[in-house]
Amino acid sequence: MTHEDPSRRVRRGVPGDVDLAVLDALFTQSPVGLHVLDTELRLVRINTATRAMHDVPVEGLLGRPFTDVFAGLTALGEVTQMLRGVLETGVPVREHLIRSRLDSDRGRETTRSVSVFRLSDERGTVLGVAVSAVDVTEAQVARARLRVLDGVRERVGQTLDVIVTCQELADALVPAFADIAVVEVVEAVVRGEEPPTGPLAQDVPLRRAAFRARGGHGQAQAHPVGDVRSLHNPTPYSQTLIDLRPRIVALGEDTPWLGADPKRAGAIRSAGARSLLVAPLALRGRVLGLVSLYRTAESDSFDQGDLGLAREVSAHTALCIDNARRFTREHTIAATVQRHLLPRHPMRQSTVETAHLHLPGGDGGGGWFDAIALSGARTALVVGNVAGRGIHTATTMGQLRTVIHSLAALDLEPDELLARLDDTARFLAAERAARPTGDPMDRQPLSASCLYAVYDPFTRTCTFACAGQPTPPVIVRPDGGTETAELAVGPALGGEGWPFATTTVTLAEGSTLALYTPQLLTPARADADEATDPGALRDVLARPDRSLQDLCDDALYVLGAGSRDGDAVLLLARTHAFPARTTATWHLADDLTAAATARGHARRTLTGWDVDEDTAAATELIVSELVTNALRHGNPPLRLRLIKDRTLTCEVHDTSTTSPHLRHAHAVDEGGRGLFIVAQLAQRWGTRHTPRGKTVWTEQDLTP
């Protein structure tokens, strides 16, 4: 008889004991649900965790078909197909997520991670399958909430528009987090005004800014989007805007507060909503609005874990809405400033008829236009644009426009005027660059363009000077033919480059001149990727029989009124010759009788024009002094011109380039009082230099 080594016997028996211990622990202590099924998918063994899940005695489960044990499983067909596939192929299934509702889950939808393995003996005979199931509902819910939060952060706040931001929130939450979403905003916030401090007063109106519903719940609205009204009180909505805390409210037929808001109650019942989560949109104690989320019987009710997500979502949305509100406020101020800085009405003058089209950019811009009456019945036409947006751009535009008016009064040539304007732009750019680093203007270099033209009705010429304006003017002849004026384009204002130059074009009487900014031809539609052909503008304007305002409207209809990057400006001017009956010109001899001769011409002409005696007497004295001054200090030949328009203009021209200066003569001086007398009698006076000399002019108002 041989004796076995005891140590060998112990070593050989240990693995079996361990296997049995592991199996016993798995079926009695493991939190993972285990099911052992035979080849007919009947339940052979089940662990305690599984029995706890189903709250059914083990005696009532063993030996029963899997389909009977889990008859209430919503995904029963999917699971059965999966089990049979593992039995047939032997390929295991690992961590397959199944969403279902069981009676033991009390109607709550759960998510389980299921793994299935085929069981075989040593000979390879298939014995059945083992199924492990782990409840991962909370982890999946947490991941879903994170996905919702990431979606809100990604999608909400893409624009600086309060209403669009609210709709972005509703779209991000339905159906990912709720079945119905309603977003309401304090009406003042939509206009860009400061939001009220909480708690919100009962009479503060809110605008329904956004609505989104899953499936067939789209008709369940208490009020349409855009409706403005105050909240009923007391309700969870009003209470949330008082204490600024989100809350979950169960909804049912016997909910007491529904009677305080009948329309909402009807919408809630119509949609079948059973759970409400209402959260304030507040920032730093100020109330911006309210978001109301509903879940119907198709979804689980809100729980306390959803409140944390609601706080995060509301905080992010409130910040986005406040940013949009601030932008709206700044845009409103900028648009108001710009509107007050631009001409209110078209300029009325005998020789030039004007009309304009101004399309503000989507974010506010610095486009401007002007028609300025100059001496000698001339007219200055201006179109310009300051790059940028906002209040700072509008104020810079106003500064440049004011400078142009001041320089135009000095009768500078167009190229000289732009050179002085460029000096101003450089000064403003240097001031902007010297601002502190944190100032918003420090990041916006100043760049501006300007097209300045002067029309002279007596020579029927228009002289242009251009600073960084790449759009050449369009000229429409009286017969309807069109042409483009090719200009010498100078550098943009405030930039570096070559000096400015002028281009002179002769215009037939009745011609139409079109000045415009490049944005007018920029595509206004999102589906357009190229600028409009200038030929389209010429085709629109080639209608000399239509009024200028009608042509502006036609240009708007053809070119579109969509959002552009900057202001689109169109200035139309139709030229006319000066009426011959209201102007008179004389060439004067270079002798001492010229002043008396000039007074006689003026007296007879003013009598024929029915000018009142006081104005006529003052004009005779002005003519006498100007002619005398030209005889003493100028060079022949001399020319006198009288023009009766909105004002009475007197011009004396000579070929000297020396400018007269106003002096204050002393009591013993025999001369030096001529220009002083002229300045006292005329409302305005000045000197205009020309290539052939200078013209001293005065203007007197004809209105008593």
Q: How far is CA 689 from CA 410, 499, 504, 654, in A?
A: 10, 20, 17, 10
Cα–Cα separations (whole angstroms), residue 80 to 46, 92, 113: 17, 14, 15
By DSSP bridging, strand 461-467 and strand 489-490 are parallel
For position 496, what pLDDT does the model report? 76
pLDDT of residue 650: 95
Would you tell me which CATH number, out of the four given (3.40.50.2300, 3.60.40.10, 1.10.10.10, 3.40.50.300), belongs to the domain 345-575? 3.60.40.10
- pLDDT tens digits along 48-105: 656 544 555 666 677 778 777 776 666 777 888 888 888 888 888 888 887 776 555 5
Nearest alpha-carbon partner for 277 in 366, 373, 180, 191 = 180
Distance CA 563, CA 610 (A): 53
pLDDT at 531: 47
What is the C-alpha separation between 663 and 227, in angstroms, rounded?
70
What are the pLDDT digits (tens) for 642-659?
A: 999 888 999 999 998 887
Q: Distance (Å, rounded) from C-alpha 173 to C-alpha 168?
A: 9
Which architecture, in CATH terms, is 580-701? Answer: 2-Layer Sandwich (3.30)
Report the pLDDT value the prediction gives residue 640, as an integer from 0 to 100. 94
pLDDT for the residue numbered 260: 86
- Domain extents in the chain: 29-135, 141-332, 345-575, 580-701
Q: Residue 660: its pLDDT value, please?
A: 76
**What pLDDT is stored for residue 523 in this prediction?**
56
Question: Which overall architecture, per CATH, does domain 29-135 show?
Answer: 2-Layer Sandwich (3.30)
Q: What is d(CA 147, CA 151) in angstroms, rounded to the nearest whole number? A: 6
Side chain identity at residue 480, one-letter code: G
pLDDT of residue 704: 58
Sheet arrangement for strand 474-476? 352-359, 568-575, 512-516, 474-476, 482-484
> Dihedral of the CA atoms 571, 576, 579, 580 (nearest 10)?
140
Are 29-135 and 580-701 the same fold in CATH? no
CATH code given to domain 141-332:
3.30.450.40
Low-confidence ranges of the chain (pLDDT < 50): 1-2, 6-13, 52-53, 525-531, 665-671
Coil, strand or helix at 139: helix
Instruction: Choose among 537, 531, 453: nearest CA to 487.
Output: 453
